Amino acid sequence: MIVVFEKHNILKVIVVVVVLVVVVVVVVVVVVVVVVVVVVVVVVVVVVIVVVVVVVVVEEKKKKKKKEKDRRSKRLLVHIAQRLYYRLVIVAAAIVAAVVVLIVVAAVVVVVVVVVKVVVVKVVVVVKLVVVVAASAAIVALVVVVIVVVVVVVVIVVVVVVVVVVVVVVVVAVEEEEVEEEEEEEEEEEEEEEEEEEEEEEEI
């Protein structure tokens, strides 16, 4: 009876360990996939925004639109900035969700490891070895996921900084161009006034 009881415990512990490893692997894969998808979406959105901004600036310089169209371009830049803000909020929410998942997984791993250790106090050394290996695998998986999340956060921060710099440069360039156009218009008006005054003096 004692042998049967010990075998039953061993099988039970092995099943628990296998289930634990499978759950951890599945959660890690899901989190990594979600993080990668979020990074890809953010990069695509950032590239699209930068391309749109550059196209707007090029069109501004080529066609030299009037003040009304310049106002429209400013509205477009504001709209782009708003969309970027919303995307960043979504990305931040995704990162928070990933961190929450990591915390939950870590808690589950700790609880299961504690329970398994309590169960296997008097079980064979082989089962203890299996439990240690499974726990180590879970910890390694968690470390990998944490590293992935950190890398993704760094990439997102770098991309956001680049986009902000590009948008600021574009806005400054557009404003400088507007100021130059206004100065040119004022100079032309002054020249016309001077010419009119000279003509009047000649007539007199």
Confirm if 131 and 120 have CB atoms less than 8 A apart. Answer: yes
Task: Give 78 or 188, the one with higher predicted confidence.
Answer: 188
Residue 49 belongs to a domain = yes
- Mean pLDDT of the 68-88 span: 65
pLDDT value at position 116?
A: 55
In the chain, what percentage of residues exceed pLDDT 90? 0
Residue range 84-95, pLDDT digits in tens: 667 767 776 777
Cα maximum dimension of the chain: 131
Residue 24 belongs to a domain = yes
pLDDT value at position 142?
A: 74
pLDDT tier, 197 (very low <50, low <70, confident <90, very high otherwise)? confident
pLDDT tier, 25 (very low <50, low <70, confident <90, very high otherwise)? confident
- Mean pLDDT of the 42-66 span: 69
Q: What share of the chain is helix, strand, coil (3-state, %, to 5)?
A: 95, 0, 5
Residue range 124-181, pLDDT digits in tens: 555 566 666 667 767 777 777 777 777 777 777 777 777 777 777 777 766 676 677 7
Residue 177 belongs to a domain = no
pLDDT value at position 5?
A: 41
Interatomic CA distance for residues 149 and 99, integer angstroms: 8
pLDDT tier, 3 (very low <50, low <70, confident <90, very high otherwise)? very low
How many domains is the chain partitioned into structurally?
Answer: 1
Statement: residue 8 has pLDDT above 70 = no
Among candidates 4, 11, 17, which has minimal Cα distance to 116?
17
Q: Tell me what the pLDDT averaged over the chain comes to.
A: 68
In the chain, what percentage of residues exceed pLDDT 70? 48
Interatomic CA distance for residues 115 and 104, integer angstroms: 16
Owning domain of residue 112: 2-167
Residue 81 belongs to a domain = yes
Residue 191 belongs to a domain = no
Residue 174 belongs to a domain = no
